[in-house]
Amino acid sequence: MSLESQKFETQAVRTQTDKTQFLEHSTPMYLTSGFVFEDSEEMRASFAEEKDRNLYSRFSNPNTTEFVDKICKLEGAEDGYAFATGMAAVFSTFAAILNSGDHIVSARSIFGSTHSLFTKYFPKWNIETSYFPVNEVDKIESLIQPNTKIIYAESPTNPGVDVLDLELLGEIAKKHKLLLIIDNCFATPYLQNPINYGADLVIHSATKLIDGQGRVLGGVTVGKKELIREIYLFSRNTGPALSPFNAWVLSKSLETLAVRADRHCANALKLAEFLESHAKVNWVKYPFLKSHPQYDVAKKQMKLGGNIVAFEVQNGVEGGKTFFDNIKMCSLSANLGDTRTIVTHPASTTHSKLAVEDKLAVGITNGMVRCSVGLEHIDDVIADIAEALEAI
Ligand SMILES: *Cc1c(COP(=O)(O)O)cnc(C)c1O
């Protein structure tokens, strides 16, 4: 049986670094900053990259390599590099590829810190970004300029849970010879593989569902070999590397991603269905609900609907406040993709700095709740949310 023909679950479990002389079953932690050489010739050849081996953990380490190898297999990518955080992955990917004067076309609904990069920091280096509304992918072509280099998007989006047609994005990028970069954080490699639709690079915040237990931060970029080479060279000099400890945790987490994601998604669908029929809820958005505006696209490109459910409670800000103050079990936190169900109020927390129009443009209303559905028994999650809704 060839390794390439193995299924997702098998590759997630069986991709491992070479065993040491102790023949350990589970990969050990390689908590070492550097590696030693036999002699001066080996040292010279290693630094000249004539030899493929570990030199220094800012460049590579057996634990980070194992983690990256797994993500590459699970995403169908040629190569990758692992970062200390998802944002280090996003920043380093753009910084390695772009030059002053380049232009990005991006979906408007993107992670808050990525939005800050595009609007606050990149303009300092003369890199401009044009946004297209998530539900108007047909606007993309009109935003492309001679200096455009990248089309960028997340799907499903945060916190609006909108879905972008990856196949269409891939076609537009190919037609205009642009790089397509997708932040695949919400879907994980288990639900969708953007490379199948023409993405050149895929980014993950491993902090979310890849860790899945709210413990460590991490990020990774995978994709075309020649692009990863640029990202690697940039990163080995600038230092955003993932720690071996976190890489070990994240590689272990990937062993259970498929079973966790199956349950996360089944729970989220049940909650979404419950909310859809609740009198105190104005609307619910979940990719695998028939009422979702991009339901057909979601069904085409996603294996399951993900673990994020967005909904609007009645009575705007007041309703939201009452809802959150009456939640007893679920966590009020800004993180997502944890075993514990988390409810967030984007309007007053993660997106509070946005102007009202900008909030509405990315689907955030005052009564909107974002729920990251966890792995508790779904009956208990629904009971907690139902009680809080009753209080409104
Ligand atoms: C959380 C998140 C990031 C940033 O990841 P960190 O690990 O927190 O730096 C980037 N993109 C998306 C979609 C995210 O949800």
pLDDT band at 2; cut points 50, 70, 90: low
Centre of ligand 1 to C-alpha 358, Å, is 20
Centre of ligand 1 to C-alpha 377, Å, is 26
104-141 pLDDT, tens digit each:
999 999 998 999 999 999 999 999 999 999 988 889 99
Ligand 1, atom 2, lies closest to the CA of 205
Query: Residues, the chain, total?
Result: 392
- The pLDDT assigned to 317 comes to 85
Domains and CATH numbers, the chain: 3-30+61-254 (3.40.640.10), 258-390 (3.90.1150.10)
227-256 pLDDT, tens digit each:
999 999 999 999 999 999 999 999 999 999
Mode of pairing for the β-strands spanning 308-313 and 342-344: unpaired
- The pLDDT assigned to 1 comes to 53
61-73 pLDDT, tens digit each:
999 999 999 999 9
Q: Which atom of ligand 1 is nearest to the CA of 185?
A: 13
Average pLDDT on 191-199 reads: 98
Ligand 1, atom 8, lies closest to the CA of 86
User: Which regions of the chain does DSSP assign to beta strands (E)?
Assistant: 79-83, 103-107, 128-132, 148-154, 179-183, 201-205, 219-223, 281-285, 308-313, 331-332, 342-344, 368-372
Average pLDDT on 265-290 reads: 97
Spacing of C-alpha 123 from chain mean position: 24
- The pLDDT assigned to 4 comes to 66
Q: Terminus-to-terminus CA distance in the chain, angstroms? A: 58
- The pLDDT assigned to 353 comes to 77
% pLDDT > 70, the chain:
99
Q: Around Cβ 249, how many Cβ atoms within 10 Å?
A: 20
pLDDT band at 5; cut points 50, 70, 90: confident
Average pLDDT on 35-62 reads: 93
The mean of the pLDDT values for the chain is: 95
Q: Specify whether the backbone of 316 is left (phi greater than 0), alpha (psi in -120 to 50) or beta.
A: left
* CA–CA distance, 97 with 228 (Å, rounded to integer): 9
* CA–CA distance, 174 with 108 (Å, rounded to integer): 21
- The pLDDT assigned to 360 comes to 81
Task: Kindly give, in sequence order, each residue whose CB lies less than 8 Å from that of residue 36, ignoring residues fewer than 6 positions away.
Answer: none
Q: Which residues are near ligand 1 (CB < 6 Å)?
A: 85-87, 90, 111, 154, 158, 183, 185, 205, 207-208, 217, 219
Centre of ligand 1 to C-alpha 9, Å, is 24
What 3-state DSSP class applies to 128?
A: strand
291-345 pLDDT, tens digit each:
999 999 999 999 999 999 999 999 988 899 999 999 999 999 988 999 999 999 9
Q: What is the pTM of this model?
A: 0.96
164-179 pLDDT, tens digit each:
999 999 999 999 999 9
pLDDT value at 364 more than 60: yes
